[in-house]
Amino acid sequence: MLVLNVGTWLSSTCSLATGRDAPEQADGQWKKCTCPKFLHWCVNGKLKRVSAKTNRWEDACRVARRIEDQLQEDQSNTISAHSVAVKDAIAAYLSDKHAQRLQPDTLKKLELIFKKQLLSWCNANGIRTIPELDLTRLREGRATWKDAALSSKKKQERVIGFFHFCQSSGWVRDNPARRLSRIRVEQTPTGYFSQEEMKKIIEATHRIRNGDRLRALTLLMRWSGLAIRDAVTLERSRLSNNDQIFLYRAKTGTPVYVSLPPDVALVLLNFHPDNPRYFFWSGNGNPKSAVADWQRHSADCSKKRTCVMRTEHQSVAFLTCSETHLRLSVCLPVCPSTR
């Protein structure tokens, strides 16, 4: 919001400039002074100053408010005359994200949120231009979200980023998404399997179809602490002769260096998948699809109630294996049993 400030041009005959009674007020802000008043403000980093054409501070303030209203009305008319369609703004935003070389999964998520969800909602509610998406409209749109608390919070952060892009492009004066209320998220820490539960899981893999593959992946995640995507896409060359793994995480790019128990390393080396380059991935298609296949395989095991699972969610079993590595490797550093 544009704000005009009032100042005073102190004349050479003013007592504030030459007298001794109030030298601390000789800064142009003395309201009782009868010297000429002026207005000053900044536009695009440049200082502008004009005469208020009055000697009274109160009259200068009224002139400042009147000029503020006029300037904002002119700015609104300029934006309305060049309003950008929601469809064009979303296309420009996604194009900018592609130019940033973001990960394909991130780009797909942005396309889902803005092209398929936000744009569809705007078309259904008769919203055509970006300035029409004010705070009230954004609240109405957020009320239709079916996501969980954490997903809604992430989505709102992306909407704020989208309107920041629109603001920096000059399509809106401010960012209305920043005034949306915060979404409260109560996160619970990831659970972990006890030693007894891990034994039951390993035993159960002997009684299901393709259990050797699930057993090898479970042992890898249990004793390495790798996330499921890093474990599924692990290359055989990353396992050294001294049973150590070194790789960079797919999600964060951080290096990971961990030692495996000899029995676990032997299980991996004796496992012969279709692609000799990887332990658990064919190397074809999207790694995300391969992860989903393994999660479904774990869910099938859970539905048969042959494994001990803390929840019905299909991916939690693998998440808990990673957490189990962090807990049990410190508290109970025992040799695994792979048989």
Per-residue pLDDT of 202-212, as tens digits, reads: 887 887 777 88
pLDDT of residue 146: 94
Domain end point (choices 119, 145, 179): 179
Greater confidence (256 vs 148) lies with: 148
- Domain annotation covers residue 189: no
Pair 163, 204 in one domain: no
What are the tens digits of pLDDT across the range 139-198? 999 999 999 999 999 999 999 999 999 999 989 989 999 999 999 998 777 666 777 878
For the chain, percent helix, then strand, then coil, each to nearest 5?
55, 10, 40
SS3 290: helix
φ, ψ dihedrals at 77, nearest 5°? -65, -35
Domain harbouring 315, CATH code = 1.10.443.10
Pair 172, 209 in one domain: no
| 136, pLDDT greater than 90 | yes
Pick from 88-102, 187-201, 203-217, 242-256: least confident: 187-201
Q: By the 8 A CB rule, do 138 and 178 touch?
A: no
Pair 162, 200 in one domain: no
What are the tens digits of pLDDT across the range 27-64? 556 677 778 888 887 776 778 888 888 888 888 888 88
Domain end point (choices 130, 155, 179): 179
Pair 106, 69 in one domain: no
Domain harbouring 121, CATH code = 1.10.150.130
pLDDT of residue 177: 96
SS3 49: strand
Q: Using alpha carbons, select from 281, 219, 222 the residue that is nearest to residue 250.
A: 281
Pair 238, 257 in one domain: yes
Pair 167, 96 in one domain: yes
Pair 135, 247 in one domain: no
Domain end point (choices 131, 154, 179): 179
Report the alpha-carbon distance of residue 233 to residue 227 in Å, rounded: 10
- Domain annotation covers residue 338: no
pLDDT of residue 288: 84
Q: Hey, how many other C-beta atoms are within 10 angstroms of the C-beta on 193? A: 23
Task: Find the distance separating the first CA and the last CA of the chain, reported in whole Å.
Answer: 70
- Domain annotation covers residue 233: yes
What does 206-270 look like in DSSP terms, one character per residue?
GGSTTHHHHHHHHHHHHHH---HHHHHT-BGGGB-TTSEEEEE-TTT--EEEEE--HHHHHHHHT
Pair 215, 228 in one domain: yes
Report the alpha-carbon distance of residue 69 to residue 47 in Å, rounded: 19
Pair 13, 76 in one domain: yes
Q: By the 8 A CB rule, do 122 and 159 touch?
A: no
Place of tokens 């055509």: 128
What are the tens digits of pLDDT across the range 293-328? 888 777 665 555 444 433 333 333 454 555 444 444
The domain containing residue 124 runs over which residues? 86-179
Mean pLDDT throughout 85-95?
95
pLDDT of residue 309: 38
- Domain annotation covers residue 336: no
User: How many domains are contained in the chain?
Assistant: 3
- Domain annotation covers residue 186: no
330 contact partners, CB below 8 Å, separation of at least 6: none
| 73, pLDDT greater than 80 | no
Mean pLDDT throughout 222-232?
86
Mean pLDDT throughout 128-133?
92
Burial of 171 by CB count in 10 Å (0-12 exposed, 13-18 middle, 19+ buried)? Answer: buried
Pair 75, 94 in one domain: no
Pair 99, 74 in one domain: no
- Domain annotation covers residue 184: no
| 338, pLDDT greater than 70 | no
Q: How confident is the model at residue 86 (pLDDT cuts 50, 70, 90)?
A: very high
Could you tell me the strand order of the sheet in which 5-8 lies?
5-8, 37-43, 46-51
- Decide: pTM greater than 0.85: no
Task: Compute CA distances 73 → 1, 81, 136, 191, 324, whole Å.
Answer: 12, 12, 21, 57, 61
Q: Hey, how many other C-beta atoms are within 10 angstroms of the C-beta on 149? A: 12
Mean pLDDT throughout 77-106?
85
- Domain annotation covers residue 232: yes
- Domain annotation covers residue 55: yes
pLDDT of residue 334: 37
Pair 247, 305 in one domain: yes
Of the ranges 37-51, 73-87, 211-225, the best mean pLDDT one? 211-225
